[in-house]
Amino acid sequence: MNRNSSRLGSAEVTIVDDTSFRIVRAFDGTAERLWAVWTEPAYVRRWWPAPGQALDECTIDLRVGGTWRYAIDQTPYGPQAWRGTFLAIDAPRRIVSTEVYEPVPDAEATNTFTLTEEAGVTTLTVLVTHRTTAARDGHLQSGMEAGLQLALDRVEALLGSS
């Protein structure tokens, strides 16, 4: 059961250019299974929200022109929601979709999700491309805020156990 332990925490987030960043992570498993975990709401509900949070909506209409929306009704910052439209789908290898963080409706990004499988190891790449550098940085900053919250919660857990 611990085959994956060496991969925990191995995701890399890198700046690609003035408007893009990329998330890369390898998994032990087939592209088909990873595709299912990424695109079926029953799975997404288990991995997308932070511990202690739950998605109040997780809708995925996986077809070109179909839409997706993830929403959390109650957070310290009020309701949070993300949505987009699927532009291209090539199961189980590639999805291109738009993404809008609803509190910042003008900053629509294009996400290219790619799976490459080799010898039972599947590498996931998400390339997030914004229209402007400011929008990209705003995205990283909003994530930073959530990441900071997560980091501080862990500090609390550590302090609580000392």
Instruction: Enumerate binding residues for another protein (CB under 8 A).
Output: 1, 3-4, 7-13, 23, 25, 27-29, 33-34, 37-38, 43, 46-48, 50-51, 76, 124, 140-141, 143-156, 158-159, 162
DSSP string, 66-102: -EEEEEES--TTS-EEEEEEEEEEETTTEEEEEEEET
CB of 32 to another protein, least distance (A): 11
| Nearer to another protein (CB atom), residue 51 or residue 65 | 51
CB of 89 to another protein, least distance (A): 19
CB 78 within 8 A of CB 84: no
CB of 76 to another protein, least distance (A): 7
| CB environment 12-51: b (16+ within 10 A), e (fewer) | eeeeeeebbbbeebbbeeebeebbeebbebeebeeebbee
Helix intervals (H) in the chain? 31-39, 41-47, 133-160
| Nearer to another protein (CB atom), residue 64 or residue 74 | 74
| Nearer to another protein (CB atom), residue 35 or residue 86 | 35
As given in the structure block, the two tokens for residue 49 are 């929200």
CB of 5 to another protein, least distance (A): 9
Distance CA(150)–CA(146), nearest Å, equals: 6
| Nearer to another protein (CB atom), residue 10 or residue 132 | 10
Give me the residues paired with residue 126 across strands.
23, 113
CB of 3 to another protein, least distance (A): 6
